[in-house]
Amino acid sequence: MEASKFNRRKFITRTTLGTLGAGLASAGSFAAGNADTIKEPPSIREYRKFGDTGFLVSDFSCGAPGNEAVLRALLERGVNLIDTGETYMNGNSERIIGRVLQDFDRSKIFINSKLYTEKEFPPKKEVLERSYQAMERLQTDYIDCMQIHSAEDSRILKDEAFHSAMEQLKKEGRVRHVGVSCHGNNWAYDTEESLDTILMSAIEDGRFDVILLAYNFANAGIAEKILEACDKRGIATMIMKSNPVHIFNIFEGRMTKLADEGKEADAFLQAYYDKYKLMEEQAGTFFAKYGISAGGDLKKAASRYVLSNPLAHTTLWDFQNFDEVDNMLQLSGQKLTANDKSVLNGFSKHLGHTICRIGCNDCEAACPHHFPVNKILRYNYYFSVKKQEKRAMTKYASLNLNKPPELCLDCEGYCEQACRYGVWTRPLLAAARKNLEMI
Ligand code: SF4
Ligand code: SF4
């Protein structure tokens, strides 16, 4: 696919330089030792029909890139879809892609970009202008797919300025497909919709060729219905949040601090701490049973779960360094194993209440204060799972919450009672606040 054919020695040199220059993790096993003993680095082993777009897409694709060397390595190893958006790193994610694209065959790479608006798009002229600016940053004449970024209700799917601009750009050959991404709605301020109702509306609308959604073993009930509907309409699917797992440990530190200060925990904290200790014991037994010592096995099992579904055409991954490139690409083409199933079932049973599925929104609908539970837990996901601390904190700050978190302490926990998955929203919210406000 690449203009400069993949060259292992060149890649190793780049990898080493990248490690020194950018402080990235080492290139792992294949970069060590002499060239004769170097193993072939993992690369993409499976390509899939990408809906009716006419493109064959790699099963793993690149989430908004933040590093040129890592992006080059991915393209050299067969990744052929790059996701980005005007808001990522203030346009610098698109600029990185633009610089790297110059060394590759543009026609073999699918660029997915996005335009964001909170309520409605500005007039068509401005949508066009923002699209041309994205192309300038990307140093390309066309964008394969332009998406509405994070649609928060189904009204935005009908936005005339957006669609009229996209129609013109398609006629000009500057945009080839139109899409939408969604994390559920912003119920706290608006209508009562959720991830599935918004995306089902997008599918019904008929103007969207590509849909980007969260899909993982924990939200399969919601996401797989959407994937099946996309399949019937020939809509291409991109997957985010394929690994929802993080183990939260918010209590130990707080309890220790209180003990050091000679204080007692309040009833709220004590009740959760007791539940947490029980959960920890159950989880410990589960981890010991499957010999799981770190998150790695879970991450692999979670990835294989998504890769095993042919209706999930490509899985985005935010590759942070060369170790991740190796670790994730070695999973390309793999399918769920019997052991993976046991691991994921065990995880759901013992720790399912620590994962917000993001987007179903029962919690927010039940909150008397319209606390944006879904968004806060999503930003905490960016912080805790994706390790994008700055991005998570900036997004959290932009919520301008003027409701004190103490509201949750005096509340009956309506959000928890309403959550169809029994997610422990209150301690998760406490953890999120601790992370996102750095308290
Ligand atoms: S807390 Fe529960 S209801 Fe709310 S978004 Fe998460 S999984 Fe859905
Ligand atoms: S604990 Fe109560 S106030 Fe806090 S988010 Fe849940 S329902 Fe709302």
Distance 153 CA to ligand 1 centre (A): 17
Locate all alpha helices (DSSP H) within 139-294, ordered by sequence: 160-171, 195-205, 220-233, 251-260, 267-289
On whether residue 3 sits in a domain, the answer given is no
Based on the fold, state whether residues 192 and 262 are members of the same structural domain: no
Distance 361 CA to ligand 1 centre (A): 5
Residue where a domain stops, chosen among 329, 348, 380: 329
Q: What is the pLDDT of residue 186?
A: 58
CA-closest residue to ligand 1 atom 8: 360
Based on the fold, state whether residues 181 and 268 are members of the same structural domain: no
Residue whose pair of structure tokens reads 């750095």 in the numeric block: 438
Question: Domain residues for 65?
Answer: 8-244+296-329
On whether residue 354 sits in a domain, the answer given is yes
CA-closest residue to ligand 2 atom 7: 367
Q: Which of 210, 205, 170 is nearest to 55 (CA)?
A: 210
Write out the DSSP string of 211-238: EEEE--TTSHHHHHHHHHHHHHHT-EEE
Q: Which ligand is nearest to the CA of 372?
A: 2
Based on the fold, state whether residues 140 and 42 are members of the same structural domain: yes
On whether residue 2 sits in a domain, the answer given is no
On whether the CB atoms of residues 376 and 436 are closer than 8 A, the answer is: yes
Q: Which ligand is nearest to the CA of 420?
A: 1
On whether residue 322 sits in a domain, the answer given is yes
On whether the CB atoms of residues 419 and 362 are closer than 8 A, the answer is: yes
Q: Which ligand is nearest to the CA of 418?
A: 1
Distance 12 CA to ligand 2 centre (A): 51
Closest-lying ligand 2 atom to the alpha carbon of residue 408: 4
Q: Which of 90, 88, 93, 94 is nearest to 139 (CA)?
A: 94
Amino acid at 20: L
Closest-lying ligand 1 atom to the alpha carbon of residue 359: 5
Residue whose pair of structure tokens reads 């691991």 in the numeric block: 343
Based on the fold, state whether residues 176 and 206 are members of the same structural domain: yes
Based on the fold, state whether residues 400 and 425 are members of the same structural domain: yes
On whether residue 1 sits in a domain, the answer given is no
Based on the fold, state whether residues 322 and 432 are members of the same structural domain: no
Distance 387 CA to ligand 2 centre (A): 26
On whether residue 263 sits in a domain, the answer given is yes
Distance 191 CA to ligand 2 centre (A): 18
Based on the fold, state whether residues 181 and 154 are members of the same structural domain: yes
CA atoms within 13 A on the CB side of 314: 31
Based on the fold, state whether residues 192 and 82 are members of the same structural domain: yes
Distance CA 134, CA 128 (A): 10
Strands 110-116 and 143-149: parallel
Q: What is the pLDDT of residue 391?
A: 79
CATH no. for residue 119?
3.20.20.100
CA-closest residue to ligand 2 atom 8: 367
Residue whose pair of structure tokens reads 């190796």 in the numeric block: 326
- Let me know if 264 is exposed, middle or buried by CB neighbors in 10 A (0-12, 13-18, 19+): exposed
On whether residue 274 sits in a domain, the answer given is yes
Query: Token digits for 108?
Result: 């073999």
Q: Which of 378, 433, 418, 413 is nearest to 272 (CA)?
A: 413
Q: Which residues contact 178 (CB under 8 A, 6 or more apart)?
A: 145, 146, 147, 163, 166, 170, 207, 208, 209, 210
On whether residue 366 sits in a domain, the answer given is yes
Based on the fold, state whether residues 204 and 227 are members of the same structural domain: yes
Closest-lying ligand 2 atom to the alpha carbon of residue 403: 3
Q: What is the pLDDT of residue 119?
A: 80
Residue 109 DSSP class: -
Host H or E run for residue 179: strand 175-181
**Mind telling me the catalytic residues?**
88
Q: What is the pLDDT of residue 363?
A: 85
Ligand 1 site residues, Cβ closer than 6 angstroms: 356-358, 360-363, 373-374, 377, 419, 421, 423, 425
Residue where a domain stops, chosen among 308, 329, 350: 329
CA atoms within 13 A on the CB side of 344: 22
Q: If the chain, 439 residues long, is cut into consecutive pieces of 10 residues, what is the mean pLDDT of each piece?
A: 39 32 31 52 97 98 95 98 94 96 97 92 97 98 97 92 98 98 67 83 97 92 95 97 69 70 73 68 68 69 95 95 94 94 84 79 82 83 76 83 69 85 80 70
Q: Is the dihedral of CA 163, 168, 171, 175 positive or negative?
A: negative
Ligand 2 site residues, Cβ closer than 6 angstroms: 367, 369, 371, 373, 407-408, 411, 413-415, 425-426
Residue whose pair of structure tokens reads 């993949």 in the numeric block: 6
Based on the fold, state whether residues 387 and 405 are members of the same structural domain: yes
Distance CA 113, CA 220 (A): 26
Based on the fold, state whether residues 286 and 344 are members of the same structural domain: yes
Distance 428 CA to ligand 1 centre (A): 11
CA-closest residue to ligand 2 atom 6: 415
Distance 362 CA to ligand 1 centre (A): 6
Query: Token digits for 101?
Result: 């694209």
CA-closest residue to ligand 1 atom 2: 419
Based on the fold, state whether residues 179 and 271 are members of the same structural domain: no
Distance CA 276, CA 247 (A): 11
The ipTM assigned to this model is 0.97
- How many structural domains comprise the chain? 2
Ligand 1, from 217, 353, 356, 424: best to mutate by most atoms within 8 Å of Cβ? 356
Q: What is the pLDDT of residue 229?
A: 98
Residue where a domain stops, chosen among 329, 354, 376: 329
Ligand 1, from 361, 380, 416, 429: best to mutate by most atoms within 8 Å of Cβ? 361
